[in-house]
Structure 1
Amino acid sequence: MCDSLKHGGPDDGGVFSDEGANLVFGHRRLSIIDLSKNGHQPMADGKQRVWITFNGEIYNYREIKEELLKAGVLFHSNTDTEVIINAYLQWGISSFSKLRGMFAFALYDKEEGTTFLVRDATGVKPLYYYAGDGTLCFASEIKAFKISGIATGQDPAWAVRFLAFGHIPEPYTTLKGVLSLKKGHYLSWDHHSGSFSIAEFYHPPAVNYITNATDAKDYIRNSLKAAINRQLIADAPIGVFLSGGVDSSLVSLLANQQKEQQLKTVSIFFNEKSYDERAYQNIVLDQISGEKYAHLVQQQDFETFFPRIISDMDMPTTDGINSWFISKYAHEDGLKAVLSGVGADELFGGYPSFNRIKYLQYLRKIPSVLFRAANYFKTDRYRKISFLSHEHYLADYLLLRALFVPADIARILNMDTKEVGEILFNEADINNLGPYNEEHAAWFESNLYMQNQLLRDTDVMSMSHGLEVRVPYLDEDFQQMVKTISPEIRFSKNQPKKILIDSFKEILPEMTWNRPKMGFTFPFQEWMSRHIEISNEKLYKGKFAQNEVLKFKSGQMHWSKVFALYQIQLHV
């Protein structure tokens, strides 16, 4: 298992075992804080009561350490890992909610006969587990379960979920019995009984709504600067991903203000003019000191690295190729950690769904049985209305973001449409999401799209190059503050992310925000149409899939759909 994850932790490795407890911890280390041997894991306290294997960063570890030092605790390293151990010894499981950062760790308390699996409040770091036959196994990638033979059976429903969502939504994976631990939760395993329970540890504090726009801008300025400042903590080289959009430009400019040493920036550009953002990148780079790395990515690069990209995905996804390339170049540029702009769109209304969601309040007044007729429409936009024949929050989300409708998924996988619906909408409905407004859209985008696609893909693709990606917009304290801003101020119907832009107008060049939204995207429509396998309809099973490929080649279909079909051919 450790060897299969070496790419994410190339600097060191270790194993701890306790035969009496039938326990083994393995670890692969990426050294970023305290690069010395003192950071070796698995790590224990001085009395070896508590052992830990930990992936991630605790950004407020210095403040917690200060508190523990005042309580008389002794430390033997400068690591944040040792702070987690001593915080647990001091405060028990209540210590988990004190941690600010991105983390997934397993902590074994020998005295209590308990092992805890703990995942950060935003779910930036992945944590998968398998619990069966009195055994608990865990890892940060699915491939570790496969290669060890612990769990090899495919979950037969994964392809249905993948074709609907474009990713495999948590808690599910491609493997039967292997699940993702929910963000902000911990799993407690009792070694005596071989049983476990799962509980939430992160409960955001109740705070008053911010109803004044001037106050809101002050809070955003101060809180985002604080988040970036603490996420720049590192004893290894750190930089910033700069795409040219508002979010990464702002992170780059603020990090440049705060970094004591010069900041490295990493950007990507293309020969295809409609995707090239160099003009937007350069206007920000002109305001930044330090080394600036820009990399040209071409069709040939896509072709050359495509097999490795597919392998590094760990689970099928229609995103992540862009993250793979920029992480590759960041690693080659000598970086071990980078800041990213992920999270701002979800917090401040940067997607079309924030305006589109209001139509659901009218559509949901129509009897759901009538929506089945939408399957007879020819265009995708109208066929997606068929999702609303299901009274379920995921049906609402899939209307906004789905790849394929249930009837098409059934054709692709040669199964019954009713069975597809049962798989997609089998979990309990969530009834407290409120009216169909911007806050509702923010919940969808944060908990479904960002959680399952952006964060997972960014982590797995960056770690495949031994690179850590940090996300200051998702700092727990910053997120909590933003969510207390009155929706009337937080969201604008006329300009996406207006309050964020207005908060930093004095440093954000107008050219970065007064422009059409692109997102961090590649020329995949063109590249995939020229790819010898993706564009060869004869390699696809079934008439429906073959016709979809022909539609793609004639420019009638988005690349993400044909890319999903291609991966189905590889794995099913």
Structure 2
Amino acid sequence: MCGIVGAIDSNPNGLIEKVTRANNSLSHRGPDGKGIKSFNHEGKSIVFAHSRLSIIDLSDLGYQPMSSEDGRYWITYNGEVYNYKEIRDELIDLGYSFKSDTDTEVLLNSWIEWGSNCLAKLTGMFAFVIYDLDKRRIYCVRDAFGIKPFYYFATQERFYFSSEVPSLFLLIDEKKKLNPASVVNYLLRSSYDVAEYTLTKGINALKPGCFLTINLDNELELKEERWWKPSIEENRNISFNDAVAKLRELFLESVKLHMRSDVPIGAALSGGIDSSAIVCAMRYLEPNIPIHTFSYIASNSSVDEEKWVDIVNNHVGAIPHKIQLSYKDLADEIDDLIIAQGEPFGSTSIYAQYRVFKSAKENGITVILEGQGADEMLAGYFGYPEHASMSYFDKGAFLRLFKFLHSWSKLHNQSSKPIVKYIFSYSISILLKGISKNVKRFSRLISSNHEVEPGKNSLTNGIRGLINKFYKTATPVWLVADADQLMKEANDQINKEDEEIPIKGRRLVYELRRSLVGHHRAGINSLLRHGDRNAMKWSVEGRVPFLTIEMAEFLLSLPEDYLLSKDGLTKNVFRQAMRGIVPDEILDRTDKIGFATPEQEWTSNMNVDEIERVISYVDFLNEIELQNEVKETLNGSRPFSWFAWRVINFSRWLEVNKTHIEPNVR
């Protein structure tokens, strides 16, 4: 786990100094060493830099940027390839030799041997850049799920990249502008880290499961390709018991690989099924090693999970570390947290995770295993019931649908009315679109015989207006400049990847796949960003054993009721796979908390008087309306929502980054 940064620029003046400064800002990601390498290609200056956190092969042989034996290829790489030993053996059989025991050298030689086809072989997390001097190509690659970050800024003359947005700011001379659509989606919907979008214009994230090819012979021509997108075709030939056995095997193998390390390891433990399964699997695989667990405890609150944490710690004989926090702790560290995260985030629970990793650092633990990704792969949270219901609806299994809704509602103590509304809304939208299509055909017939002024077909426009009204999201009063256009851009941003039609009867796994590959407006991208920045702030490597290609492809191929049972039980197949490893008390839980904080109490104590001043220079926001809505939320005049926290967070982020963000005064 490390930090990477680099630049391609037609102007070499001061470039090495800028890259060095940006690399130094990533010292928290890599405190164990710095490296930099520069190249020139037909008037273009190229600089790669690296900040190293030593995890595997702690010797100097692991320093980067690293070159191939013949000097043709160079790599700067952030991440871990857990199955590097197995791939290394395969490469040795093909005639390769190695001078180190690093996964970096294995990764570089894998690319040399197989090109981008090597990526599907890797079990791990990674973001890396490879320069092929002979082909005059640079390749920028991100892992299948986006566990490791990669941001870039590109023009015809320049290409800058980094592991973090604040580091990228140091490479770009001019001030940056806000991306209004991203800001609206964050404030209004808590939707952020979707696909390539950031809150800053011109700064993009490389999408999960994708790679960029940069042709140095042209004006920095960029080509993006997707290297992984799992199938959701159903495997109808596997029984539930066989699926249980296979998942148990895959999960234990993944945890075993994720425990490979030359430094001390531990685990984040919330007391939920996912983190408990990881801790218990560690003990199952290694009966005698010390296991350090780190848990946030929200004492005397409705989100206190200490009871469950204690059950797991006692079961495995762990060395527990419990973190208790107050509003004052958050107030003291909020700016440090915002700087560490790089961009705003959705709730104060991110601070609990931040302090968990801080505790790991203080106790000498460099690697932490955590449970991110399980909900998105196993139909967790509340089980994505709307999408599961639509699958029953597609199949015409209306009696099953009725029984599912009744059981799900009873099990989770939730009303099924929103699910019924979702099904009804979807059905009406399909009906309206069908009518619209037929009206267009009818209109074309009329137009062939009669002159109809463009845009004046009242029947077509009426249907279109009805569809728009049906879908319309209310425009908030705090949008002041081109509000309707901004709402359209915000909607287009989160719906950009929705063009593919879901497979009927497979709508649940379709939704899970969207969450996993970074297309979902509430997908896993933001959770992985939180975890990466919180861990790296303290020079700790966070690992996520649930997120492997093999496990994802297996789970997405299963019948949907193996994931979300016909009775509404989430993580159905995984609960059974963990019997005998995880205590039944944990596996029988049906609630979902995680590192949740007493959100309302903490937010209500925050100072909101600065919101109006800080946001006043954002030309598309009404700072007075925003501040009033926050105050009314916190004083109880409005129902509590996380919107208040998002506005506070956004205003603090603007203040922290005021030297980099260009003001747009009305």
Alpha-carbon distance between aligned partners in 2 of 1:228 and 1:277, rounded to the nearest angstrom? 24
Alpha-carbon distance between aligned partners in 1 of 2:304 and 2:486, rounded to the nearest angstrom? 43
Alpha-carbon distance between aligned partners in 2 of 1:419 and 1:329, rounded to the nearest angstrom? 42
Among 91, 115, 118, the alignment partner of 2:138 is 115
| Structure 1 partner of 2:323 | 295
TM-score using structure 1 length:
0.88
Among 538, 549, 553, the alignment partner of 2:635 is 553
TM superposition shift of 1:466: 1.2
Alpha-carbon distance between aligned partners in 1 of 2:339 and 2:372, rounded to the nearest angstrom? 24
Among 582, 585, 588, the alignment partner of 1:508 is 582
| Structure 2 partner of 1:478 | 551
Alpha-carbon distance between aligned partners in 1 of 2:641 and 2:52, rounded to the nearest angstrom? 36
| Structure 1 partner of 2:188 | 164
Q: How does 1:356-505 map to 2 (within 5 A)?
A: 356-357=386-387, 358=389, 359=420, 360-366=422-428, 406-408=474-476, 411-412=478-479, 414-425=481-492, 427=496, 429-435=498-504, 437-446=507-516, 447=518, 448=520, 449-492=522-565, 493-505=567-579
Query: Where in structure 2 are there 5+ consecutive unaligned residues?
Result: 1-21, 390-419, 433-465, 616-622, 655-662
| Structure 1 partner of 2:449 | none
Instruction: Note the aligned Cα RMSD (angstroms).
Output: 2.8
| Structure 1 partner of 2:50 | 27
Contact map agreement 2:230 2:513 (CA 8 A) in 1? no
Query: Where in structure 1 are there 5+ consecutive unaligned residues?
Result: 371-387, 400-404
Contact map agreement 2:353 2:595 (CA 8 A) in 1? no
Among 66, 87, 91, the alignment partner of 1:68 is 91
| Structure 2 partner of 1:373 | none
TM superposition shift of 1:150: 4.9
Could you say if the C-alpha distance between residues 456 and 534 of structure 1 is closer, same or farther in structure 2, counting changes exceeding 3 Å? farther
In the alignment, is residue 186 of structure 1 matched against residue 245 of structure 2?
no
- Which SS does the other structure have where 1:345 is aligned? helix
Alpha-carbon distance between aligned partners in 2 of 1:347 and 1:91, rounded to the nearest angstrom? 29
Alpha-carbon distance between aligned partners in 1 of 2:611 and 2:224, rounded to the nearest angstrom? 46
TM superposition shift of 1:485: 1.4
TM superposition shift of 1:112: 1.4
Could you say if the C-alpha distance between residues 391 and 293 of structure 1 is closer, same or farther in structure 2, counting changes exceeding 3 Å? farther
In the alignment, is residue 338 of structure 1 matched against residue 368 of structure 2?
yes
TM superposition shift of 1:368: 9.2
What are the Cα deviations for residues 536-559 of structure 1, in whole angstroms up to 9, with x where unaligned?
Answer: 899882235413431233184445
- Which SS does the other structure have where 1:275 is aligned? coil
TM superposition shift of 1:189: 0.9
Contact map agreement 2:612 2:624 (CA 8 A) in 1? no
The one-letter code sitting in structure 2 at the alignment partner of 1:514 is D
Q: How does 1:29-178 map to 2 (within 5 A)?
A: 29-150=52-173, 152-157=175-180, 158-166=182-190, 167-178=192-203
Give the total of aligned pairs.
Answer: 545
What are the Cα deviations for residues 437-463 of structure 1, in whole angstroms up to 9, with x where unaligned?
Answer: 422432344332233311111112221
- If you compute each CA radius of gyration, which structure gives the higher value, 1 or 2? 2
Could you say if the C-alpha distance between residues 535 and 241 of structure 1 is closer, same or farther in structure 2, counting changes exceeding 3 Å? farther
- Which SS does the other structure have where 2:428 is aligned? coil
TM superposition shift of 1:498: 2.2
The one-letter code sitting in structure 2 at the alignment partner of 1:173 is T
TM superposition shift of 1:208: 4.1
Could you say if the C-alpha distance between residues 428 and 307 of structure 1 is closer, same or farther in structure 2, counting changes exceeding 3 Å? closer
In the alignment, is residue 518 of structure 1 matched against residue 593 of structure 2?
yes
TM superposition shift of 1:522: 0.9
TM superposition shift of 1:279: 0.9
Could you say if the C-alpha distance between residues 389 and 251 of structure 1 is closer, same or farther in structure 2, counting changes exceeding 3 Å? farther
Alpha-carbon distance between aligned partners in 1 of 2:214 and 2:614, rounded to the nearest angstrom? 46
What are the Cα deviations for residues 393-415 of structure 1, in whole angstroms up to 9, with x where unaligned?
Answer: xx8xxx9xxxxx5512x524554
What are the Cα deviations for residues 39-97 of structure 1, in whole angstroms up to 9, with x where unaligned?
Answer: 11111122221111100011111111001111221101100000011112222332233
Alpha-carbon distance between aligned partners in 2 of 1:535 and 1:417, rounded to the nearest angstrom? 28
What are the Cα deviations for residues 170-203 of structure 1, in whole angstroms up to 9, with x where unaligned?
Answer: 2111222221112111111112212121112235
What are the Cα deviations for residues 104-132 of structure 1, in whole angstroms up to 9, with x where unaligned?
Answer: 00011112111100111111111111221
| Structure 2 partner of 1:211 | 238
What are the Cα deviations for residues 510-536 of structure 1, in whole angstroms up to 9, with x where unaligned?
Answer: 332434322321112111111234898
Contact map agreement 2:376 2:524 (CA 8 A) in 1? no
The one-letter code sitting in structure 1 at the alignment partner of 2:604 is S
| Structure 2 partner of 1:385 | none
- Which SS does the other structure have where 2:512 is aligned? helix
Contact map agreement 1:535 1:553 (CA 8 A) in 2? no
TM superposition shift of 1:30: 1.0
In the alignment, is residue 258 of structure 1 matched against residue 285 of structure 2?
yes
Contact map agreement 2:156 2:221 (CA 8 A) in 1? no
TM superposition shift of 1:140: 1.0
Alpha-carbon distance between aligned partners in 2 of 1:207 and 1:29, rounded to the nearest angstrom? 42
Contact map agreement 1:406 1:421 (CA 8 A) in 2? no
Contact map agreement 1:45 1:86 (CA 8 A) in 2? yes
What are the Cα deviations for residues 284-304 of structure 1, in whole angstroms up to 9, with x where unaligned?
Answer: 001213432222222222222
Alpha-carbon distance between aligned partners in 2 of 1:529 and 1:469, rounded to the nearest angstrom? 31
